[in-house]
Amino acid sequence: MVLVTELTRMLGIKHPIVQGGMQWVGVPALAAAVAAAGGLGILTALTQPSPDALRVAIKETHKLMNGRPGRFGVNITLLPSITPPDYAGYVKAAMDEGIDVFETAGNNPGPIIKLIQTYKAPGQATVPKRYIIHKCTAVRHALSAQKMGVDCLSIDGFECAGHPGEDDIGGLVLLARAAEELGIPFISSGGIANGRGLAASLALGAQGVNMGTRFMATVESPIHENIKEKIVASNEKDTVHIFRTLKNTARVFKNKVSTEVVALEKRPYGAKFEDLRDLVSGARGKVVYENGDPDYGIWSAGIAVGLIHDIPTCEVLCDRMVKEAEDVINRLDTKIAKAKL
């Protein structure tokens, strides 16, 4: 079963499925598994403690591919951070290792996009073609990234895990608006976890999908089994927004810590980031994935948790989604054909 789209043609991948760049989750084991399954695997740059560690992770991912066909890229997310990262250093390290697909996201991406488009790695006489998929949550940001010359946009609806922006536009309208305005390919992100979501995305004009939360609950995902099972047991009401009052909104799993953060933000005098720092730090959230205690810290999850009912391998998941999407498309086609008779 194959669905050929502008995304699969552009990147030479089998399935129109991109793995989201999840903090602490986008590690070599998962990126290689998604790549080998025919999707685009993504290594999350900031999950590595330094640009040099990212180089090691890229080498490890190649090793795990073990000669199998497949493609992976690197995510770089530009958002407020407790310790501001060396974004340019990470991106240069990736390009030095031959990475030619990037998922960029976050605020003020212009300088990083320019760097990816113009950098000559040591030994390169000319700048090689590198593909940039820029993730954004508003059509105006998508248009501005299009002007910067990115190759594809990842249109992130309000359903998404992590940072949905501040406009609160769900995928159904956001994707249809993207289709009206954009002149380059785009994929859908946020709320996608099965073949219905893939078929709906294609119907809305997208050339594929980006999934984060769905890939967290896979065999090859590096997170603790308890958290995978927690995702399977959850429904679409089990996430919450933190940082609304700081204009850095993030959708995360509803647990003791996120509930406390929201309560602090709701105080009549609100909360400053400093009041929340110890509760929300990524270092603490990482422990959730290591010790399997879903209440230990903040961890990202989209409302797609309500659509996740098992823990398949990435290969089973990708093949199944494409088959389901094709079934949906064929069923609609048959119904429409019958209605015309």
Rule CB under 6 A: which residues touch ligand NAD? 21-23, 44, 46, 75, 77, 79-82, 162, 243, 246, 248, 250, 273, 280-282, 285, 300
CA-nearest of 305, 339, 286, 259 to 25 is 286
- Measured from the CB atom, is 162 or 195 closer to ligand NAD? 162
Closest CB to ligand NAD: residue number: 282
What is the closest distance, in whole angstroms, from the C-beta atom of residue 83 to ligand NAD in the complex?
A: 6
What is the closest distance, in whole angstroms, from the C-beta atom of residue 331 to ligand NAD in the complex?
A: 34
What is the closest distance, in whole angstroms, from the C-beta atom of residue 75 to ligand NAD in the complex?
A: 5
Amino acid at 242: I
**What is the rounded (10 degree) CA torsion for 327, 332, 334, 338?**
160
For the beta carbon of residue 259, count every other beta carbon within 10 angstroms.
13
What is the closest distance, in whole angstroms, from the C-beta atom of residue 131 to ligand NAD in the complex?
A: 18
What is the closest distance, in whole angstroms, from the C-beta atom of residue 257 to ligand NAD in the complex?
A: 12
- Measured from the CB atom, is 65 or 280 closer to ligand NAD? 280
- Measured from the CB atom, is 92 or 320 closer to ligand NAD? 92
Three-state SS for 72?
A: strand
- Measured from the CB atom, is 165 or 282 closer to ligand NAD? 282
> 323, 246 in Cβ contact below 8 A?
no
What is the closest distance, in whole angstroms, from the C-beta atom of residue 121 to ligand NAD in the complex?
A: 23
- Measured from the CB atom, is 87 or 131 closer to ligand NAD? 87
- Measured from the CB atom, is 50 or 81 closer to ligand NAD? 81
- Measured from the CB atom, is 44 or 218 closer to ligand NAD? 44
Cα 244 from Cα 195, distance rounded (Å): 31
φ and ψ of 129, to 5 deg? -65, 125
Which own/partner pairs from 307-311 qualify as long-range (CB within 8 Å, at least 24 positions apart)?
A: 307/193, 307/194, 307/197, 307/214, 307/236, 308/193, 308/213, 308/214, 308/217, 308/231, 308/232, 308/234, 309/232, 310/217, 310/232, 311/217, 311/218, 311/219, 311/228, 311/229, 311/232
What is the closest distance, in whole angstroms, from the C-beta atom of residue 76 to ligand NAD in the complex?
A: 8
> 135, 210 in Cβ contact below 8 A?
yes
Residue 119 tokens, joined: 């950098």
